[in-house]
Amino acid sequence: MHEFDLVAEVQAMRQQVSDLHSELTRYGLVIWTGGNISGRVPGHDLFVIKPSGVSYDDLTPENMVLCTLDGSVLQGTLGSERSPSSDTAAHAYVYRNMPEVGGVVHTHSTYATAWAARGEEIPCVITGMADEFGGPIPIGPFAIVGDDSIGRGIVATLKTHRSRAVLMKNHGPFTIGINPKDAVKAAVMCEDAARTVEIARQGGALVPLEQAAIDSLYLRYQNVYGQSEDARR
C-alpha cells in the first residue's frame, strides 16, 4: 500500500471512530467521559482510539489517538499530544491476539455493569440474545485498569465463546466486532439483553432456551438474516 493510501485509511478510521462515539451517548451506554471505542486500521499494525478524559461533545477525528499494536502512541501524528484511553493496553492486546477483530468497545452501561458487579453471566433466555451472541454473555476475570490484564481476560474468555461481548467482573462490558460499528452494535445489544433479562428475572424464574434452538437461531441470524436471495447463493 502506498503512503497516500495509508494516510487515507487512517483518516477514514479517525472519522469512523470519532463519529461512532455519539452512538454510545445516543443509547445511554456512557456517562461523563467514560467508555471508549477503537478501530484497527485495515492492513496495518495500527489502531485509532479515543483520547482520555475528553468530553464526548469535544471529540473530533483530529483528536483521536493513533497507536501501534503494542499500545504505544505514534508520535508526531494528529492527537499524539493527548493521552490515549486508559484501556489502550487492553485494546492493543485484543488486536494482537485476535486478528479477526477490527473494533473494540468498552462502556459502563448500567444493566450490563450490574451483572458484572455480581460476577454473573447473562443467561441466554431470549431469542435476540441467541441471534446476536449465540449463547450467554460470559463473565471475564477481575483485572486492574492500566496494563494488558483486562485484554488478557477478554481474549481468554472470548477465544472459546461465540459471544462478541464479555462482562469483566466488577468492571463492565467489552465488545468486539469485525469493525468498530459492529463492536458498537454488540455493545448496544449487550445492554439491551442485560436490561431485559434483569427485568424478566424480577418477575419470576427465567425460562431457558434449549441449546438446539440457540444454535439454529444464531446460525440463521449470522448467515441468512438481512440478506437477499442472491446474496445467499
Q: Which of 27, 56, 131, 215 is catalytic?
A: 131
State the Cα–Cα distance between residues 152 and 216, nearest whole angstrom.
30
3: confidence class by pLDDT, cuts 50, 70, 90: low
pLDDT for 2? 58
% of the chain with per-residue pLDDT over 70: 95
* 87 is a catalytic site residue: no
**How many residues in the chain?**
233
Average pLDDT value for residue range 2-11: 84
Average pLDDT value for residue range 8-32: 98
Residues 117-148: pLDDT tens digits? 999 999 999 999 999 999 999 999 999 998 99
Average pLDDT value for residue range 217-225: 93
- Which domains occur in the chain, in start order? 3-226 (3.40.225.10)
Average pLDDT value for residue range 41-54: 97
Q: What are the residues facing 137 on neighbouring strands?
A: 122
State the Cα–Cα distance between residues 104 and 135, nearest whole angstrom.
20
- Indicate if the pLDDT at residue 59 is higher than 50: yes
Report the chain's mean pLDDT, rounded to a whole number.
94
Cα-Cα-Cα-Cα dihedral of 105, 106, 112, 115, to 10°?
130
pTM: 0.94
State the Cα–Cα distance between residues 15 and 24, nearest whole angstrom.
15
161: confidence class by pLDDT, cuts 50, 70, 90: very high
Q: Which of 5, 45, 70, 225 is catalytic?
A: 225
Contact call for residues 216 and 70 (beta carbons, < 8 A): no
* 225 is a catalytic site residue: yes
- Indicate if the pLDDT at residue 116 is higher than 60: yes
Residues 84-103: pLDDT tens digits? 999 999 999 999 999 999 99
